[in-house]
Amino acid sequence: MTELPTFEDVAEAAARINPHIHKTRIVGSGMLNRYLGAEMMFLCENQQRGGSFKTRGALNSVIARFDRGEISSEHGILTYSAGNHAQALALAASQMRIPLTVLMPTDAAHVKVEMTKSYGVTVEYYDPQTDDREEIAQAMAAERNLSIIPPFNDREIIAGQGTAVRELLMEVGRVDAIVLPVGGGGLIGGSSLVSKVFSPEAQIWGVEPEGGDDARQSLEKGEIVTIDNPDTVCDGVRTRRIGDLTFGLMQKNVTGITTVPDSDVFTCMKLVADRLKLIAEPTGVLGMAGAMKLIADGTLPRGSRIGVILSGGNVDMDTFASCITQADDAVEQMQRYGR
């Protein structure tokens, strides 16, 4: 295994990318807090450039490789991704004038494909049911002389993603817990490095959809577990397995992984829309849904201060409408979750 990234990598990443990213807001809802008996602080990465926190890792990785001369306008990059990483790399590559090829699943959200193409990216497709995207990517990279920037299992990607929680904790100070979505584990891996330094007593929880709990299984078993066909509305975390770096960080730092049903995701999307007036994609509210579950079952005690990342906002409006229409009444839901 490559050496694990460190807190210093995150600090360097912040210095590298801060001129290029939005300083997103931290918001909360008094009504939600009153119902839950806890304080939830949301960092609005749904309003980050490119529509998700993934812009952080992508910029860090592209700028660092460019500065080292590994990529250039002649020597392009390639990635595979469910969408937000692709869109984030597209933004980073376009800024540094580096050609980008993206391998996307045939079932990627329309808005993500269109947004990616709008940055002038070459899009190629693979079938997520039958193809191994990493194998296809490696063959394509070798053939076309491209550098692969993977979506999560990469030192600089992980460090870049960690800058979101760094901003959150620099602003709000120590917290009792941070609760984050887990797909490949880049966000929680990088975040855990920051949390251990800025808020050493804080619990660090990951959240997966019930239909795609490979990270939970991996931590339980003590080795990386691969799952077939993740089944969830959260397209941003339909990963089949985490990486060795992100697994290493999770084993070392993470308190635990909890899972939530898609119905909780719908509820939280509606609560975020209703109370915060924000559009979040399904994956974007996984942290919130997990935090509400951990509050409801008493894992996070009454009065906890909880840091949550609204991780992305890239959702087709038809999907968004369908999700909030399926959700139960938001106020009733808060009452159900409250104690």
Applying CB under 8 A, which residues contact its own copies? Answer: 25, 27, 31, 44, 46-47, 51, 111, 114, 118, 270, 273-274, 276-280, 313, 317-318, 320-322, 324-325, 327, 330-331
Query: H/E element holding 272?
Result: helix 262-276
Residue 114 C-beta: closest distance to its own copies, Å: 7
Q: Which is nearer to its own copies, 19 or 222 (CB)?
A: 19
Q: How far apart are CA 337 and CA 270, in angstroms?
A: 14
Query: Structure tokens of 5?
Result: 């990234």
Helices (H), 120-213: 133-144, 155-172, 186-198
CB of 321: closest distance to its own copies in angstroms?
4
Query: Residue 111 CB, nearest distance to its own copies (Å)?
Result: 7
Task: Kindly state the smallest distance separating residue 142's Cβ from its own copies, in Å.
Answer: 35
In whole angstroms, how close is the CB of 278 to its own copies at the nearest point?
6
Alpha carbon distance 128, 126 (integer Å): 6
Closest distance to its own copies from the beta carbon of 197 (Å): 29
Integer Cα distance of 122 and 332 in angstroms: 46
Q: Which is nearer to its own copies, 153 or 267 (CB)?
A: 267
Nearest CA among 77, 87, 9, 8 for reference residue 48 = 87
Shortest gap between Cβ of 42 and its own copies (angstroms)?
12
We find the least distance from the C-beta atom of residue 295 to its own copies, in angstroms, to be 21
* 181, 275, 320 from 317: Cα distances, Å: 22, 19, 5
For its own copies, which is the closer residue by CB, 89 or 327?
Answer: 327
217 sits in which H/E element: helix 214-221
Distance (Å) of CA 133 to CA 162, 245, 258, 294: 25, 19, 27, 34
Q: Smaller CB distance to its own copies: residue 31 or 136?
A: 31
| Residues whose CB is less than 8 angstroms from the CB of residue 241 and which lie 6 or more positions away in sequence, other chains included | 214, 218, 224, 225, 226, 227
Beta bridge partners of 310: 44
User: Which CB sits closer to its own copies, 127 or 171?
Assistant: 171
Q: Which is nearer to its own copies, 5 or 51 (CB)?
A: 51
The number of residues in the chain equals 339
Residue 142 vs 331, nearer CB to its own copies? 331
Question: Please, what is the minimum distance in Å from the beta carbon of residue 282 to its own copies?
Answer: 14
CA dist 29 to 121, 171, 277, 283, Å? 38, 17, 10, 20
Q: How far apart are CA 105 and CA 311, in angstroms?
A: 21
Closer CB to its own copies, 225 or 269, in the complex: 269
Taking the least distance from each CB to its own copies, the nearer of 103 and 324 is 324
- And the tokens for 202? 């804080």
